[in-house]
Each structure stands twice: as structure tokens, then as C-alpha cells.
Amino acid sequence: MNHMVVFAIPVLSQLEAVMRHVLVWFHTTLGLTWAWSIVGTTVVVRMLLVPLTIRQIHSMQNLQRYAPQMKEIQKKYKNDRQKQNEELMKFYREHNINPAASCLPMLLQLPVFIALYYTLKHYHFPPGSDLSWLNFIHDISAGTTTQWGGYLLLVVYVVSQMASMLYMTTATNKAQQRIMLVMPLVFVTFIARFPAGLVLYWVTTNLWTVGQGLITRRLIPKTPAPSTAIERRSSRTPPKDDGGTGDNGAKPDEPLPQQPKPQATAPRQVRRKKKRPSRR
Amino acid sequence: MSVVLRLPSLLGIGLVWLYRLTWGALFPTTCKYHPSCSEYAIQALRKHGLVRGSLMAGWRLLRCNPWSRGGFDPVR
């Protein structure tokens, strides 16, 4: 019955055929076991999505600069999420920000998941093939809870899912974060019925996300430097101001014009130079 | 519009809800558009029916990529 439903929808059967070919290629050409072929496929899929991720990292770095102002907006419209969203969108537009989040990369992984699901359900693995993984999963095409290793895999899944959700999100809302931690526990009840290979896919993709998150977090602190530099400078300025008193007009300036010169130790000289051209 | 005529678009809306409760819930990312892509899809399906609504939702999804600007984009 399930088989018929799948083949009634040509797109699904095409997806399944593609996935089967990819898995067979990994297995026969690269000589990987079927389980490692799934891991390989997952890694390839995520690698294909890397350009999208890099773009997201860039926009996240950009977002980080405006974090204080954005937090203020979030605070201001705390009780009206619709208004909050609208105001944030306006803010993005005004400051030429491209928000990091977008739906397409996330949705692109759905067909892969569906294809793998049906492949594991329908594909008749050649008799005698090794369907085990790391000695604790005996059969990747069998239900996860039909084997003891499956329970272990489910535990890994829950932990990796929680970690990946925390790394993926930019949500600062504590209630939202709590929901994210509960979600994997809800999902695990459904996922337990899936073939173990599918859970393996999920674990791999989650671990990739966590790794990516770790790298992203390392990269991101580089950008907020200007904003912290601004704070530092403002705390430094008073004593220096005493020396060079005439800076009153510069104070109301927005922090943005100050950003390009955070490392320069002599910004004041630059300002004076600005006045000098008239003398020259 | 009678219920019978609205059935196809209701089916589409049901699918969007199915997505929201399953796949969508696995990814905590927020959409860069307002209304979000799934909300846009529901509104488009309601307003323009299954065929046009689906095409509009598909086009919006393609626009919701890391290179686009996002912003306020209601169903017209």
C-alpha cells in the first residue's frame, strides 16, 4: 500500500531512485558499508549546503553588530510579537541588514530525508550484505527499537538534536529555548519507529550542525569587536577629552562612523587632520 | 465559496500544518520574511486557491534564501 502511494507520486519515486543510486555508488565504488554510505551521503548533502551556510555566517556577523539595538526593539514590543517582527524587519531594511535565517536551506533537506526513508523501506539489500554500524546497530533497515543498539542511537539522537537546535538558533527568549530542549523528546517517540538508518542520518546531520555552530561561534566574535571597541573608547574618552576639550560636537554622533577605526590609536589626530585641510 | 470548492486549498493548508508540526518544528530558525513562509503559504492558499496559492508559496520559498533581503511581504 505504502509502495503504491509512493509510486503514485512521480517526484517521490524519482527522489527514491536518486537516493538509491547514491547509496549504491558509495557502497560499490567507495567500498563503504551501507551504514557508512548513509553517513557519507549526509556529509555530501551538508557539504552542498555549505555555500548557503557561509552566507548565513556572514549575515550573522553583520547582525551581531546591531545586537544591542535589536534587543531594544525586542524589549520594547515584548508583548506584541507581530509588531516586534514588523519593527525588526523595518530595522533590517533601514540598516541594510540581510537576516541570517531563511527557509530554503532547511527545506532542501526534506526531500533527502523522504528519499532515504523510502529507500530504506523499499530497497532489497543484496542477501548477505553488512547492514550493521559500529557493532551496535545490527540492521539499519530495521526499526530502531527492534534492536538494543537502536535505543543507544536514540539517546545520541536526542542529545545531538538538542545541541544542534541550540547552536542553530539565535533566539534569546528563554521560553523558546526551553521548547527547543523539549522538542527532541517529543520527536523521539515518532523517530523510534523509523528505520535505524534514518536515525543515523539525523544524528550525522545534527553533529554536522553542531560542528558548524562551533566554527561559526569562533568566527563571529571577530566582528562585534567594533561595537566593544566603541564602548571601550567611550570609557577611555573622558580622560583624553580633558586634554583635547573641543570634542563636544562629536558626541551625538552615532557609533557607526566610529566603526572603521577601532584599532587606530590616534583617532583624534585624524579628526584634527580633518580640520587642517582648510589650513592647507 | 462553497466548502467543496475550497477543499483543494484546505488540503494544501492541512499539508502546511503537517509541515509546521513535523519538519518545521525541528528547525528553530525564524523566517526572514513577515509573514513567515508557512503563514504566507496558508494565506495565499486561502486567497488564491490550491494552484495559484501553491505557486505563490513556492516562489516565496525560493526567495527566502540566504542572499535575499527579506522583509515585509504580504500576500497580494
Is pLDDT of B57 > 70? yes
What are the angstrom distances between the C-alpha of A61 and each of A110, A234, A258?
Answer: 27, 23, 18
Please give the pLDDT value at position A240. 41
Q: How does DSSP classify residue A137?
A: B
Calpha distance A46→A207 (Å, rounded): 11
Please give the pLDDT value at position A3. 53
Amino acid at B44: A
Please give the pLDDT value at position A104. 86
Nearest CA in chain B to A106: B27
- How many angstroms separate the CA of residue A180 from the nearest CA in chain B? 7
Q: Which residues of chain B does A106 touch, with a Cβ-Cβ cutoff of 8 Å?
A: 27, 29
Least confidently predicted of A20-34, A247-261, B20-34: A247-261
**Better pLDDT: A238 or B1:** B1
Please give the pLDDT value at position B15. 94
Is pLDDT of A243 > 50? no
Q: What is the pLDDT of residues A72-127, one digit of tens each?
A: 888 888 888 778 877 887 887 777 777 767 888 888 888 998 999 998 888 888 88
Is pLDDT of B16 > 90? yes
Could you tell me how many CB contacts below 8 A there are between chain A and chain B?
79
Mean pLDDT, rounded, for A178-195: 85
Helix A103-122 and helix A196-219: axis angle, to 10°?
Answer: 160
Cell numbers linked to B45 = 492558499
Q: Which residues of A touch B (CB under 8 A)?
A: 52, 55-56, 59, 85-86, 89-90, 92-93, 98-107, 110, 113, 161, 165, 168-171, 176, 180, 183, 187, 190
Give residue limits of the domains in chain B.
Answer: 3-72
B21 touches chain A (CB under 8 A): no
**Better pLDDT: A143 or A272:** A143
Q: pTM (2 decimals)?
A: 0.71
Calpha distance B42→B74 (Å, rounded): 11
Nearest in space to A48 (alpha carbons), one of A98, A109, A3, A113:
A109
**Better pLDDT: A140 or A278:** A140
Please give the pLDDT value at position A6. 53
Amino acid at A61: Q
pLDDT band at A207 (very low <50, low <70, confident <90, very high): very high
Calpha distance A157→A178 (Å, rounded): 18
β-sheet bridge partners, residue B33: B71
Q: How does DSSP classify residue B71?
A: E
Please give the pLDDT value at position A213. 81
Calpha distance A117→A119 (Å, rounded): 6
Calpha distance A53→B29 (Å, rounded): 13
Is pLDDT of A37 > 50? yes
pLDDT band at A7 (very low <50, low <70, confident <90, very high): low
Cβ pair A102:B26 closer than 8 A: no
Of A122-131, A169-178, A216-225, give the range with the top mean pLDDT: A122-131
For chain A, helix, strand, coil in percent to 5 are 75, 0, 25
Is pLDDT of A231 > 90? no
Nearest CA in chain B to A88: B71
Is pLDDT of A236 > 70? no
Q: What is the mean pLDDT of chain A?
A: 74
Residue B72, H or E segment? strand B71-72
Cβ pair A98:B66 closer than 8 A: yes
**Better pLDDT: B6 or A230:** B6
Please give the pLDDT value at position B44. 96
Calpha distance B37→A258 (Å, rounded): 37
Residue identified by cell 507581530 is A82
Amino acid at A7: F
Calpha distance A84→A86 (Å, rounded): 5
Count of Cβ atoms closer than 10 Å to residue A265 Cβ:
7
Q: Determine the distance from the C-alpha atom of residue A192 to the mean position of all C-alpha atoms in its chain, rounded to a whole number.
A: 25
Count of Cβ atoms closer than 10 Å to residue A45 Cβ:
20
Secondary structure (DSSP) of B43-55: HHHHHHHHHHHHH
3-state DSSP assignment of residue A113: helix
Helix A103-122 and helix A34-48: axis angle, to 10°?
Answer: 160
Please give the pLDDT value at position A249. 36
Please give the pLDDT value at position A90. 81
